[in-house]
């Protein structure tokens, strides 16, 4: 068997990889870190979602607060939005929390005030972190509640049931 043949019958040709084609022209080196219109460090075109520099510029630091800090702010009348689905909200939510499912957040953001912090809560803190990140990118002072409604309930704080903000 010819040693220059790879499985599938592909023939390795050194001039295709290393640049010397014998005709005086230089071909591009295979595996070059620098290509026209790309970022040398990542190999992605500028602005491409995988470009680390662009991702870093777009990222926002999201503030996350614990349940005790949130409870103090809630007692002072903080604005709270719950980003769970309606059936989760109806099963039990923080008194006064406004229901804004995560999928409806961009449209509902128009009605939120920008002059005060917005506390975002969900069941465990994962969706609220995502929502707080989106709100931060829109210019809001958003804070995610770590532990979510589960942490609120485990702390012995009151939960209301129903679809209204202050349902009984």
Q: Name the residue range of residue 133's domain.
A: 63-154
Name the domain boundary from 17, 42, 59: 59
Within 10 angstroms of residue 155's Cβ, the number of other Cβ atoms is 13
4-41 confidence digits (pLDDT tens): 444 555 454 544 444 444 444 444 444 444 444 444 44
- Catalytic residues, by residue number, are 122
Residue bearing the bigger pLDDT, 72 or 39: 72
Q: Is the pLDDT of residue 99 over 60?
A: yes
157-167 confidence digits (pLDDT tens): 999 998 877 65
Same domain, 55 and 107: no
Look at residue 65 and give its three-state secondary structure: strand
Q: How many domains does the chain have?
A: 2
Beta bridge partners of 80: 119
Domain assignment of residue 114, yes or no:
yes
Same domain, 11 and 73: no
**Prediction pTM value:** 0.64
Q: Is the pLDDT of residue 58 over 50?
A: no
């Amino acid at each position: 068997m010819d040693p220059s043949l790879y499985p599938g019958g592909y023939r390795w040709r050194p001039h295709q990889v290393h640049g010397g084609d014998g005709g005086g022209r230089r071909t591009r080196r295979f595996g070059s870190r620098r290509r026209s219109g790309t970022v040398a460090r990542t190999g992605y075109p500028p602005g491409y979602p995988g470009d680390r520099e662009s991702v870093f510029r777009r990222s926002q630091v999201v503030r996350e607060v614990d349940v005790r800090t949130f409870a103090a702010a809630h007692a002072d009348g903080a604005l709270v939005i719950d980003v769970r689905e309606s059936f989760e909200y109806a099963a039990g939510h923080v008194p006064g929390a406004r229901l804004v499912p995560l999928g409806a957040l961009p449209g509902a953001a128009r009605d939120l005030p920008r002059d005060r912090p917005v506390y975002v809560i969900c069941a465990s803190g994962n969706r609220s972190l995502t929502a707080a990140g989106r709100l931060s990118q829109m210019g809001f002072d958003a804070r995610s509640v770590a532990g979510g409604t589960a942490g609120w309930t485990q702390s012995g704080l009151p939960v209301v049931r129903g679809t209204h903000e202050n349902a009984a």
